[in-house]
Amino acid sequence: MMARPSPTLLWRRKPTLMIVTLLVVVVALVAAACTSGSDGNAASDANASREAAGLNPLTDEQVNAALKTYLPSGEHDPYIMFASGGHSGQMFVIGVPSMRILKEIGVFTAEPWQGWGFGNVGTMETLAQGDVNGNEVRWADTHHPALSETGGEYDGQFVFINDKANARVAVIDLRDFETKQIVKNPIAIVDHGGTKVTPNTEWIIQGGQYAAPHGWEYSALENYDEDYKGMVTFWKFDRSSGRILEDQSFALELPPYWQDLCDAGKLVSEGWVFCGSFNTERATGESGPDGVPFEAGASARDNDYLHVINLDKAVEVFDAGNTFDVNGFPVVGLQTLIDEGILYFVPEPKSPHGADVTPGGDYIVVSGKLDPHVSVYSFEKIQQAIADKNWVPDPYGIPVLDFDAVLEAQVEVGLGPLHTEFDNDGYAYTSIFLDSTVARWSLGPPYRDDGWKLEGTLPVHYNIGHLSTVGGDTVSPDGTYLVALNKWSIDRFFPPGPLLPQNLQLVDITQPPSDDSDTGGMQLLYDMPLGMGEPHYAQIIKADKLAPFEVYPEIGYDPAIMAVDPDAPVSGNERIERNGNNVEIWMTAIRSHYTPDRVDLKTGDNVTWHITNIDTSFDATHGFALPAYNINLSLEPGETATIEFIADQSGTFPFYCSEFCSALHLEMAGYMLIEP
Q: Nearest to residue 428, comparing CAs of 507, 349, 365?
A: 365
Taking the complex as a whole, the smallest distance from the CB of residue 611 to ligand CUA amounts, in Å, to: 11
Work out whether 169 is an interface residue with ligand RUQ (CB under 6 A).
Answer: no
Least Å from the CB of residue 621 to ligand CUA: 8
Return the number of the residue (538 or 668) whose C-beta is nearest ligand CUA: 668
Partner touching 657 among ligand CUA, ligand RUQ, none, CB below 5 to 8 Å by kind: ligand CUA
Least distance in Å: CB of 590 to ligand CUA?
Answer: 8
To ligand CUA, the closest distance from the beta carbon of 622 in angstroms equals: 4
Among 175, 214, 536, 610, binds ligand RUQ (CB under 6 A): 536
Smallest gap from Cβ 616 to ligand CUA, in A, equals: 14
Count of residues making up the chain: 676
For ligand RUQ, the closer CB: 406 or 464: 464
Torsion (CA) 14, 19, 20, 22 in degrees, nearest 10: -140
**Partner from ligand RUQ, ligand CUA, none binding residue 665, C-beta < 5-8 Å depending on class:** ligand CUA
The DSSP symbol for 288 reads: S
Q: Which of ligand RUQ, ligand CUA, none is residue 610 near (CB under 5 to 8 Å by kind)?
A: none
Min separation Cβ 612 and ligand CUA, Å: 13
Site for ligand RUQ in 192-211 (CB under 6 A): 192
98 or 277: CB nearest ligand RUQ: 277
Residues 179-215: b if buried by 16+ CB within 10 A, e if exposed: bbbbbbbbbbbbbbbbbbbbbbbbbbbbbbbbbbbbb
For residue 592, say if its preceding peptide bond is cis, omega within 30 degrees of 0.
yes
Supply the minimum distance, in Å, between the C-beta of residue 461 and ligand RUQ.
16
The residue among 2 and 666 lying less far from ligand CUA, judged by its C-beta, is 666
Question: Which residues 6+ apart lie within 8 Å of 89 measured at CB?
Answer: 107, 108, 109, 138, 139, 140, 141, 142, 163, 533
Q: Is 158 within 8 Å of 174 (Cβ atoms)?
A: yes
Number of residues that bind ligand RUQ (CB under 6 A): 9
Min. distance of Cβ 623 from ligand CUA in angstroms? Answer: 6
According to CB under 6 A, which residues from 347 to 366 bind ligand RUQ? 353
d(CA 632, CA 455): 53
* Cβ proximity to ligand RUQ, 81 vs 668, nearer residue: 81
Interface ranges with ligand CUA (CB under 6 A): 592, 622, 657, 659-661, 665, 668
**Per-residue string for binding with ligand RUQ, 254-283, x by CB under 6 A?**
-------x----------------------
Closest alpha carbon to 265 in 213, 222, 236, 308 = 308
**CA dist 269 to 116, 307, 357, 413, Å?**
40, 14, 9, 26
From CA 446, how far away is CA 433, in angstroms rounded?
A: 29
Residue whose CB is less far from ligand RUQ, 199 or 276 = 276
Given ligand CUA, ligand RUQ, none, residue 50, with its beta carbon under 5 to 8 Å by kind, binds none
Residues 412-471 that bind ligand RUQ (CB under 6 A): 465-466
- CA of residue 241 relative to chain centroid, distance: 21
| Per-residue interface string for the shown chain with ligand RUQ, residues 310-349, x marking contact by CB under 6 A | ----------------------------------------
Residue 74 CA from chain centroid, whole number: 26
At residue 90's C-alpha, the angle toward residues 265 and 645, to 5°, is 130
- CB of residue 416 to ligand RUQ, shortest distance in Å: 11
The gap between the terminal CA atoms of the chain, to the nearest Å, is: 65
Strands of 470-613, DSSP E: 481-486, 502-508, 523-530, 538-542, 557-558, 563-564, 575-579, 582-590, 593-595, 598-602, 606-613
Cβ neighbourhood burial of 619 (10 Å; 0-12, 13-18, 19+): exposed
Minimum CB separation of residue 123 from ligand RUQ in Å reads 26
Binder of ligand RUQ out of 83, 143, 275, 586 (CB under 6 A): 143
The residues that bridge with 163 in the sheet, in sequence order, are 142, 168
Residue of this chain nearest to ligand RUQ (CB atom): 465
- Does 144 bind ligand RUQ (CB under 6 A)? Our answer is yes
Instruction: Compute the least distance from the CB of residue 55 to ligand CUA, in Å.
Output: 39
User: Minimum CB separation from ligand RUQ for residue 42, in Å?
Assistant: 39
Torsion angle, alpha carbons of 615, 617, 620, 621, to 10: 60
How near is the Cβ of 665 to ligand CUA at its closest, in Å?
4
Residues 597, 611 contacting (CB under 8 angstroms): no
**242 — alpha (psi -120 to 50), left (phi > 0) or beta?**
left
Pick what 660 binds: ligand RUQ, ligand CUA, none; C-beta below 5 to 8 Å, kind-dependent.
ligand CUA
Cα-Cα-Cα-Cα dihedral sign, residues 191, 195, 196, 197? positive
Select from ligand CUA, ligand RUQ, none the partner in contact with residue 537, using the beta carbon and a kind-dependent cut-off of 5 to 8 Å.
ligand RUQ
Taking CB within 5 to 8 Å according to partner kind, which of ligand CUA, ligand RUQ, none is near residue 192?
ligand RUQ
Q: Is 307 in the site for ligand RUQ (CB under 6 A)?
A: no
Is the Cβ of residue 106 or residue 145 nearer to ligand RUQ in the bound state? 145
The residues that bridge with 670 in the sheet, in sequence order, are: 655
* Binding-site partner at residue 307 among ligand CUA, ligand RUQ, none, CB < 5 to 8 Å by type: none
> For residues 261 and 352, what is the distance between their CA atoms, to the nearest angstrom?
9
Q: What does 668 bind: ligand CUA, ligand RUQ, none (CB cut-off 5 to 8 Å by kind)?
A: ligand CUA
Q: Which is nearer to ligand RUQ, 273 or 607 (CB)?
A: 273
What phi, psi does 674 have (nearest 5°)?
Answer: -115, 110
Supply the DSSP string of 421-479, one letter for each residue.
EE-TTSEEEEEETTTTEEEEEE--TTT-TT-SEEEEEEE-SS-EEEEEEBTTTSSS---
Where on the chain is the footprint of ligand RUQ (CB under 6 A)?
143-144, 192, 261, 353, 465-466, 536-537
